[in-house]
Chain A
């Protein structure tokens, strides 16, 4: 009886909430006409929303997978799967990342959940770095963007993989603990995290979904801040002036392209086309630096990482990736 009342109440609430939402939306149209702002604000808003709308489905799939990991994968599984040997674990995580088609927004909640479940930090990082960089869609779009030249696409994957392994190794030297933010540390004490065994499947699915909701609200705000910053940069910072700094010297042009990759926060599936639009202005190494660095670190996903890891770790991590990518490409330049 009580259950029946509850489900009726839920239905009614649902209808009320939808009704309220529709009401608000219908009055928003009238308010819309009354506001006038400088056109750059509208442009920035459009870019901001477009980044969000583009990223949202991928983030949603990411939080669903993260919810699934939380409920269905136990710490014992992780202990069994991850090799004891550090190098083996790093290599394995990079390979798994390479096989796992994800984009840089969707992968953050997944990595967070994996690390909370006991995956060592360095393995999580390896996965985080190769996941968005090495996957079929990225290979294909890079191949297409550079005039159907396989060389750029292959170099991107191979160098990216090497960089990921180096970074994960350095992380393993520097950090022993999981580096999750304080409130994340107790993830495993979450009662439905490990107590899922023996529950009916519907209950498990319900928990997967509720976890996904919580994750969405947790992660969402950082994604939104990141998108807002990236939109601001695109609206108010001129890439031409950035490019002017980089002309000529290999070191400075590599830095400029990496800076662009960071600030523009493009999805790894679309960034190749932007890189191609600079391809004749910069040395190939600088273009490749853009292609390798962008999927690993950018404004948007750095914000999301801040939602997962301690700030100190995020900044160390960003510095390590930046230095490694830069050094690797300066060395590689000898061969191009």
Chain B
């Protein structure tokens, strides 16, 4: 029986990954990385990691009988961690632990306006507004055709849920949310309904002109904005923050210059139509706003509709 240092290191790395992911779940930081819908899959990953860790422990004090065959380790198909440590392997181990180092040492951040700029926020917003011109026909009844699909399905254009554990809602609830929009004089863009309403307002922008709307968002600006213009934006996360997209409204507010980028604002205003670089888009004339702290859940998630 021998002690194999490298096998111990591998076991150590495996348990660090396990603990790191568990820690993310425990502290809730996982929400800054992935859509909570994928939390279960991530926990399955944790279970696999644990199993691999336990397996790996058995190799730390191996009698090495699984390797008694005298074939040459040098041209073996992959490294079993028994051959001596060299510079190249040190680099490999360093790369493997890199996410652990940055993960434990650097706090996860919330995506901000600089990322929105890189992702082309106004492109995305313009694109959404163009749906009306292109499709002509509003299609908000689309969900009725879905009954034959699976039990659960993501509807990206739908409401994210601030209530993180329940971002799955029933069909009736969804219909209710959709129907409510037309009846309201004052639209409250809560996290749950935000993207559904956003989509609907973009599709039939003319019918929403003059309605009151209140929403939260972070301030985002582009160079070609007028001095009273800004965007109140949100990130919509489908799977993980790497695939986030920006949605939000172009807004005009008198003292826009005083609001710096990344300031979180809770605002009320009326919807009007603005022409931005030749594209008509719904915009908000902000009458009243208030600077707030970043919400506990800054991101929006697509809703999953559950069919009975």
A266 to B75 alpha-carbon distance, docked (Å): 34
Contacts of B57 in A (CB 8 A): 10, 13-14, 17
Main secondary structure of the interface of A (DSSP, over half): helix
User: A273: which of B1, B69, B108, B156 is its contact (CB, 8 Å)?
Assistant: B156
If the complex has contacts A6-B1, A10-B58, A28-B104, are A49 and B238 also in contact, measured as CB distance less than 8 A? no
A201 interfacial by beta-carbon distance below 8 Å: no
Q: Is the CB of B114 within 8 A of A40?
A: yes
B:212-245 near A, CB below 8 Å: 238-243, 245
Pick the contact of B115: A18, A43, A54, A192 (CB < 8 A).
Answer: A43
Q: Would A239 and B118 count as touching, CB distance under 8 A?
A: yes
Are A140 and B241 closer than 8 Å at their CB atoms? no
Which one of A140, A192, A225 contacts B149 once the chains associate, using CB atoms below 8 Å? A140
Assuming the A-B contacts A17-B12, A185-B75, are A234 and B119 also in contact, with contact meaning beta carbons closer than 8 angstroms in the complex?
A: yes
**What are the residues of chain B within 8 A of A182 when measuring CB–CB?**
75
Task: List B contacts of A274 (CB < 8 A).
Answer: 243, 245
Choose, from B123-131, B180-188, B252-260, B283-291, the stretch at the interface.
B123-131
Taking the nearest CB of chain B, how far is it from the CB of A39, in angstroms? 7
Tell me, rounded to whole Å, the shortest Cβ–Cβ distance linking B135 to chain A. Answer: 7
Q: Which chain B residue has the least Cβ–Cβ distance from A180? A: B77
Q: Considering the complex, give the chain A residue whose CB is closest to the CB of B12.
A: A17
**Would B245 and A273 count as touching, CB distance under 8 A?**
yes
* B259: min CB distance to chain A, Å: 18
Point out the residue from A210, A220, A265, A278 that lies within 8 Å of B96, measured CB to CB.
A220
Contact B109 A269 (CB under 8 A): no
A183 and B76 form a contact (CB under 8 A): yes
B contact residues around A237 at 8 Å (CB): 118
B75 with A186: CB separation less than 8 A: yes
Name A219's closest neighbour in chain B (CB-CB): B78
**Please, what's the 1-or-0 string for B24-65, where 1 marks a CB less than 8 Å from any CB in chain A?**
100000101110001001101100110111111111110000
From 24 to 66 in chain A, residues with beta carbon under 8 angstroms from any chain B beta carbon are: 24-25, 28, 31-32, 35, 37, 39-43, 45-54, 56-58, 60-61, 64
Q: Which of A43, A53, A265 contacts B112 (CB 8 A)?
A: A43
Count, chain B residues at interface, CB 8 A: 99
Say yes or no: is A189 at the interface (Cβ < 8 Å to chain B): yes
B1 surroundings in chain A (CB, below 8 A)? 2, 6, 9
Nearest-neighbour CB distance to chain A for B171, whole angstroms, equals 15
Which residues on the A side are within 8 Å of B173 (C-beta)?
Answer: none
- The verdict on B295 contacting chain A, using a C-beta distance below 8 Å, is no
Q: Is A159 an interface residue (CB 8 A)?
A: no
CB 8 Å contact bits of A157-197 with B (1 = contact, 0 = none):
00000000000000000000000001111110111100000
On whether the beta carbons of B135 and A48 are closer than 8 Å, the reply is no
A56 touches B19 (CB 8 A): no
Contact with B along A201-226 (1 / 0, CB 8 A): 00000110110111111101100110
Query: Bound state CA distance, A9 and B92, in angstroms?
Result: 28
- Asked if residues B239 and A56 are in contact (CB atoms below 8 Å), the reply is no
Given A144-B155, A239-B123, A243-B120; A209-B81 close (CB under 8 Å) = no
The answer for the CA separation of A212 and B131 in the assembled complex, in Å, is 47
Inter-chain contact B239/A46, CB cutoff 8 Å? no
CB distance from A256 to the nearest CB of B (A): 12
Q: Is the CB of B240 within 8 A of A53?
A: yes
Contact between B107 and A42, CB atoms less than 8 A apart: yes
**Which of A31, A61, A147 has the most chain B CB within a 10 Å cutoff?**
A147
> Is the CB–CB distance between A17 and B77 below 8 Å?
no
Closest to B24 in A: A53
Cα of A57 to Cα of B131 in the assembled complex, Å: 36
With both beta carbons as reference points, the residue of chain B lying nearest to A215 in the complex is identified as: B78
A residues in contact with B131, CB < 8 Å: 147, 280
Q: Which of B16, B76, B95, B120 contacts A221 (CB 8 A)?
A: B95
Q: A52-B99, A53-B42, A54-B240 are in contact. List 10 more A-B contacts (CB 8 A).
A: A25-B104, A32-B105, A42-B106, A45-B106, A54-B42, A183-B78, A186-B76, A209-B52, A213-B56, A239-B119
Pick 15 A–B contacts, CB within 8 A, sort by A. Answer: A9-B61, A13-B60, A17-B57, A39-B112, A43-B115, A53-B30, A145-B156, A186-B76, A216-B14, A217-B92, A231-B242, A234-B118, A234-B242, A238-B120, A264-B242
Partner-B contacts on A (CB < 8 A): 2, 6, 9-10, 13-14, 17-18, 20-22, 24-25, 28, 31-32, 35, 37, 39-43, 45-54, 56-58, 60-61, 64, 116, 136, 140-141, 144-145, 147-148, 182-187, 189-192, 206-207, 209-210, 212-218, 220-221, 224-225, 227-228, 230-231, 234-240, 243, 264-267, 269-271, 273-274, 276-281
